[in-house]
Amino acid sequence: MRRWLAALLLISTLGFAEKTFVVAYQGGAVTLDPHMRNETTTLAWQHHLFETPFFFNRDGKVVPVLAEKIELVDENTWKLHLKKGIKFHDGSEMTAEDVAFSILRAATHKKSQMKGYVGKISETQVLDRYTVLIKTKVPDPLLPAHLDHAAIIPKAYLEKVGEEGFNKHPIGTGPYKFVSWLNGDHLNLEAFDGYWGKKPAFTKVKLVNIPNGATRVAALLSGEVQIAEKVLPQDFPRVERSGVARVEQTPGVRVIYVALDYWREYGSEGLPKGAKNPFLDPKARKAIYMAIDEDAIVKRIMGGAATVAPQFLAPIHEGYNPKIKRFPYDPKAARKILEDLGYGDTDGDGWLELPTKDGNRVPFALRVDAPNDRYLNDAQIAQALANMLRKIGIKASVNAVPKKVFFPNMTKGHFTMYMAGWGSMDSINTLLSMFHSKDPSGLYGRFNREHYKNPEVDRLIEEAAKTFDKAKREELLKKAMYIAMVEDVAYIPLHYENVIAGVRKGIRFTPRPDEYLHAFEAEKE
């Protein structure tokens, strides 16, 4: 009886032979309207259907996709030349009408989430069948790169079926066309015969959302899926030992960093009541930096699934400065720096001390804030940081909370030291948001929660943001980064999270640094 049952199950397994190429994600796309949700998995799924004028390649370079080239007419005007003969999935040709319409929609639709990229665009004009004029409100030297978030959709089709109809059956120019989907769960695709570019290796593709890491790995090992993203470090040995799959890693652009209160002399919320905040002085910040054994974090906590970061930007970013190296790990020197600054242990209890406003001294206690559900092993990293700080005499404790609580609290300034991550392909955006001093209009320093401020750095960033010459811009960014990272120790970089995928035997695939997982980048071996 039992044998029969087993045989029956086995036969039905065979009947289910692998024809469809299945890729498992940790999440799923929540919309197939390419301008409404700016989130990695949603965009990654959409990239199979839609393309943009320009896109980043794996080396972080901006390359033309639907565009032939782009010309700068004046500071606020660009002329976009399109490739000819590109077809939408319904067979109609993509023209300047579609492109002018789509870019403006991404820039101005009231629910568009792409405004962080193309929100500076005020107007688009059709010059001829293959040329579009783009006008911006303010100069944007990075406009070509920003067009990577302006997916091109067929104007006539959208106007015919409406937004609801478009969501039901989206049409783009991408290598795959839409077959069916369940919002947030799976998307069935079929290779588009009329695709202008390189034909993808697999005809039928299914993208699925398998949220639980252990299930994702199980599905990979049992052959239900061919690629599974975000395999957890603890599962690496199981995958490698299985003989049917392997782990592929690429250093990503997401940096995990530590921020320290840069603005309150007293009343910093992660220190004992009334204690002076030592971190207004870059020397004290450097001491914390030197107390952190990042090699150990990468090796022991991240299981090798991360790459030590010497600075805030990643090597493929514009403005990455190879001259910036990590300060050496040296706990003795770190403690010495703090002692020399007057925070030494005077009562002999082993803990460093902080002066208070009323002239007393209290033990140097420090709360390390971190999320516990946002980054790979985030709570464990925070714990390791606290342990390392305790070794140099700082009475550190950890407050790891869900991201929903963490981020609003950090934004409100309820911290002295926190750990978080930052990932963006756009260096100018990174520097404007994280390194430029806060301004009341909210235009600059939006995520500069620690209130880092250096007028020279502000000037360099602003200058870079309006410099059209790439080489000059890069120099300005490098200079700003040097001052911020080395002289001011604005943040303490920890590591870049690696982008990880489990891949079945017989398939050639490596993840992209920008975390977008595309089935059309997989090949048969």
Partner 1 sequence: MRYFTVRFLQMIFAIWAVATLVFLFLQLTGDPMELLAPEDMSEAQVAELRHAYGLDRPLHIRYLIYMENLLKGDLGISWTSGEPALKLLAERFPATLKLVLTALGIAIVLGLPAGVWAAMRSDTWVDRSLRFFSVLGISAPTFWIGIMLILIFSVTLGWLPSAGAESWRHYILPGLTLSFYRIALFLRMIRSTMLDVLSQDYVRTARAKGLPERIVVYKHALRNALIPFVTLVGLQFGQLMAGAVVTEWIFAWPGMNRLALNALFTEDRPVILAFVVLTAVIFAAVNFVVDLLYGWIDPRVRYA
List residues near partner 1 by CB under 8 A: 6, 9-10, 12-13, 16, 24, 27, 30-31, 33, 36-39, 110-111, 113, 115-117, 119, 163, 167, 182-186, 208-212, 214-216, 218-219, 221-225, 403-404, 407-408, 411, 424, 426, 429, 433, 441-443, 446-447
Closest to partner 1 by CB, 39 or 340:
39
Q: Which is nearer to partner 1, 113 or 131 (CB)?
A: 113
Residue 297, SS3?
helix
Minimum CB distance to partner 1 smaller for 6 or for 63: 6
State the Cα–Cα distance between residues 305 and 369, nearest whole angstrom.
23
Residue in 392, 400, 394 with CA at minimum distance from that of residue 370: 400
- Is the Cα torsion angle 154, 156, 157, 158 positive or negative in sign? positive
Nearer to partner 1, 72 or 218 (CB): 218
Round to whole Å and give the CA distance between 400 and 173. 44
β pairing state of 507-508 and 523-524 = antiparallel
Q: Which is nearer to partner 1, 184 or 315 (CB)?
A: 184
Q: Residue 73 or 214: which CB sits closer to partner 1?
A: 214
> Closer to partner 1 at the Cβ: 184 or 331?
184
Least Å from the CB of residue 56 to partner 1: 14
Is residue 199 a contact partner of residue 192, using CB atoms and an 8 Å limit? no
**CB-based burial, 160-192: b 16+ in 10 Å, e otherwise:** eeeeeebeebbbbbbbbbbeebeeeebbbbebb
Least separation in angstroms between residue 84's CB and partner 1 is 32
Smallest distance from partner 1 to CB 31, Å = 4
- Rounded to a whole number of angstroms, the minimum distance from the CB of residue 317 to partner 1 is 14
State in angstroms the smallest separation of the CB of 252 from partner 1. Answer: 16
Residue 174 CB, shortest distance to partner 1, in Å, is 20
Nearest residue to 70 (alpha-carbon basis) of 176, 12, 150, 11: 150
Q: Please state, in angstroms and rounded to a whole number, the distance separating the CA atoms of residues 248 and 267.
A: 46
Query: Around Cβ 221, how many Cβ atoms within 10 Å?
Result: 20
Q: DSSP states of 186-222 as a string?
A: EEEEEE-TT-SSPPPS-SEEEEEE---HHHHHHHHHT
Residue type, 282: P
CA distance 198 to 21: 18
Question: Closer CB to partner 1, residue 200 or residue 371?
Answer: 371
Residue type, 34: P
Nearer to partner 1, 222 or 360 (CB): 222
Beta carbons of 150 and 50 less than 8 angstroms apart: no
52: closest CA among 82, 93, 27, 84? 82
CB of 210 to partner 1, least distance (A): 4
Given the complex with partner 1, which of 359 and 441 has the nearer CB atom?
A: 441
CA neighbours within 13 Å on the CB side: how many for 254? 18
Taking the complex as a whole, the smallest distance from the CB of residue 226 to partner 1 amounts, in Å, to 13
Backbone angles phi, psi at 142, to 5 degrees: -95, 20
Q: Give the type of residue at 431.
A: L
Give me Rg for the CA atoms of the chain.
26
We find the least distance from the C-beta atom of residue 408 to partner 1, in angstroms, to be 5
Nearer to partner 1, 219 or 396 (CB): 219
Q: CB of 183: closest distance to partner 1 in angstroms?
A: 6
With contact defined as beta carbons under 8 Å apart, do 452 and 483 qualify? no
CB of 367 to partner 1, least distance (A): 21
Q: 521 forms bridges with which residues in the sheet? A: none
Smallest distance, partner 1 to C-beta of residue 113, A = 5
Nearer to partner 1, 49 or 271 (CB): 49
DSSP line for 431-456:
IIIIISPP-TTSSS-TT-TT----HH
